[in-house]
Structure 1
């Protein structure tokens, strides 16, 4: 049997290549997921609804849409509930990205972005982040946009996976204005925005209502296994994505949506506890790097990642270096090259 030819465009995740072979007893700093307990309010809410475990509207449970809208300062018709934020990205790409066009994305950036573009028949085109702290560089992005007339969409990630870098309001506004002027879809993946050190990264919604923000309960609320995410934005952008989402998954799991609602209703306490937990772990990591390696490191703008510089000898083959570290030292890191050529000299620690 021969699989569909379009699968030739997709490569196995390099993250899984590292983590799937993790030896027993290894220190797991690879996967990007919270490891603290699911808040009790979500556990109780999973069994909240008596009677049948029925479908809800494919756009999402109304109560959850209202809660997400309130959290983002939006209206209910600006919210689509999806199967994780990746489900939102998939639906938006399938709805708006024409085959043969190009999608701009950060380098280094989340490994799913190029795959989602290719599944839509588009070509991924990368833009660099700033050299100082891997933050949004409006000049660099706009230069790539101006050189790419075939662009159908631009994706931002603030703060960034894998780097933790964010961006300032002025840079975000310049990028938003450039995309709105061209009439192309601008998506801001803000799934890590509420895990911040110091001030919170600006949101796309702070500078325009013409784009789309995606997020989920997977990171800040500590519930990746629920697979509940959302897209918030101009209903004109969301309408075709709703059609895709409805056919792709019918709807996000009903009990998971009730649990997500409970999490968002208790956002203030849950997000504060999550930030405190990440802060404690960051301090422990920073102390270890300082004492054992003599490295002084500053916290990222957000996320629970550290994008660590690798020794020069590892730059030629970072994957081999990380595999050797995994198998011999039993420490699991993800090579920065997995996230694009711009990450070659680094590794991501979660």
Structure 2
């Protein structure tokens, strides 16, 4: 299959691009996300795709959407930051564009992008975890994207690590996201500053602010990279939580490689070192099993767009029945090899 379109639907922006078989993005476009309107969001997606289709011979469209996506990769069951509830997005967009459409969870799409073309392109078993405002991720086992019976597997950020811990946006308590995300980093940084800590006051000064409420994750990361002691400690604490969570994930999935991406990964070795130390310390039977390699993600913000486009090209990579090829307006496409 030749060119496909990848579309990454965020809470504020819809990014779209034409992607070739080598994962290279050609022409790009974007639209604002009218997040409160189901119809307006679908129209914006179609408008962006139609602009690209007009100038290229496109064979399929892949959409990465934050939320639960059905097993047939067509319906968005639930999206926390958009108005989608049991929304048949794939069929709706396919009917307007008259090309096959595949919908995938955005974190899964990003993980697939790193697997197919990025940091994990030379392995068959990987875990990708994205540390940003929240925690997302995806798992690839033997070259297949893990989606589960209902399409909602690998919600890595919602693995419980502290029974009865901080309340999470998902409704549960003690999720990894509440301890190893950018949101957790900011919460802890502000709490230290509000407690009157002299070290935290120095960190605020390094960030160029005086009000703890103004503190952001990127500020803490930049301060840590400038060797501010309080910021470094905050990043190390986050890395420790992340490493402990990854040790549990490695126990379940036995990956060859663990890829860490997202905004907080800008701290690079400050985060990676503490995460890997905690991982090694907490991995069960650590002396009697191979250990996964830690690497930073390579594709940045383009991972989801590239991954969605490639999954549209190779639907069998995520368990979609390749024999159910749909007529124009459907969601099935004939796949090539998964890689």
Alignment TM-score, normalising by the size of structure 2 = 0.32
Question: Which structure has greater strand proportion?
Answer: 2
Whose RCO is larger (CA < 8 A, sep 6+)?
A: 1
Alignment TM-score, normalising by the size of structure 1 = 0.31
